Amino acid sequence: MTDYLELIPKPAASTVNVGLSSPKLSTLRSILGEPRSDYTGSCQPITGPFKKRIVTKSVGPFKCTGVDVAVTAIAEILVGVKKEVPDLYDILGTAGMACARKVKIKQKNGTIKLGKNPSNHSWGLAIDIKLKGALDNQGDNKCYRGLLILSRYFNAAGWYWGVSFPTEDAMHFEVAETTLRRWKKDGKLD
């Protein structure tokens, strides 16, 4: 049986997120608007123009709260995982999706520094995934084997994997720039 919690070196950037990029703040703001008027380091409610699109729903193995189209997309991604890697599906959990706050970056000494910009979680288009209740350690340039397997499914559906952020964040998946623009073009975000 595969040890999904085995720590492996983070994959080379060229081998993941092929053709995908993290959505720009300017794109998020122009498509959905600003989630709140102010941010701290803690989760606060989304009060911006798209708050009516925020839903809490089951995506199969767990419930999450985010933009309706993104929550539906996660449920569809996980249908494939359930079919092909059922024992990985069985240990999936989440540490949260929608959360309006500033970016948090783990420093080398283990402390958390707040960035100046809001996190992409503020738009409810990003999710942090747990395996067997455990969170991958941010910034150690390693990742759980199970997250690498899962990333294939998220990437195929047009979601960006945070493993290639300047500070490695392998628990994190978010709707990629091109996917967000396509949803907008297709009228899914009107």
CB of 186 to Zn ion, least distance (A): 25
Minimum distance from residue 80 beta carbon to Zn ion (Å): 22
Nearer to Zn ion by Cβ, of 94 and 189: the residue is 94
Identity of the residue, 166 or 187, whose beta carbon is nearer to Zn ion in the bound complex:
166
Structural contact between residues 22 and 167, judged by C-beta atoms closer than 8 angstroms: no
Can residue 128 be called a binding residue for Zn ion (CB under 5 A)?
yes
Nearest in space to 7 (alpha carbons), one of 107, 160, 139, 141: 141
Could you tell me which stretch among 31-39, 61-69, 133-141, 172-180 binds Zn ion (CB under 5 A)?
172-180
What does residue 45 show for φ and ψ, rounded to 5 degrees?
-65, 150
Determine if residue 110 is left, alpha or beta; phi over 0 gives left, psi from -120 to 50 gives alpha, anything else beta.
left
Q: How many positions of this chain bind Zn ion (CB under 5 A)?
A: 2
Phi and psi at residue 72, in whole multiples of 5°? -60, -40
Cβ 97 to Zn ion, closest distance in Å?
9
Lookup: tokens for 41: 């380091």
Nearer to Zn ion, 2 or 40 (CB): 40
The least CB distance from residue 122 to Zn ion, in Å, is 11
**In angstroms, rounded to a whole number, what is the distance separating the alpha carbons of residues 150 and 116?**
30
Q: Which residue is nearest to Zn ion (CB)?
A: 172
The least CB distance from residue 126 to Zn ion, in Å, is 5
If residue 92 lies in a helix (H) or strand (E), which one and from where to where?
strand 92-96
101: nearest Cα among 25, 42, 175? 42
CB 86 within 8 A of CB 70: no
Residue number with CB closer to Zn ion (128 or 136)? 128
By CB under 5 A, tell whether 172 contacts Zn ion.
yes
86 vs 133 by CB, closer to Zn ion: 133
**Interacting residues toward Zn ion by CB under 5 A:** 128, 172
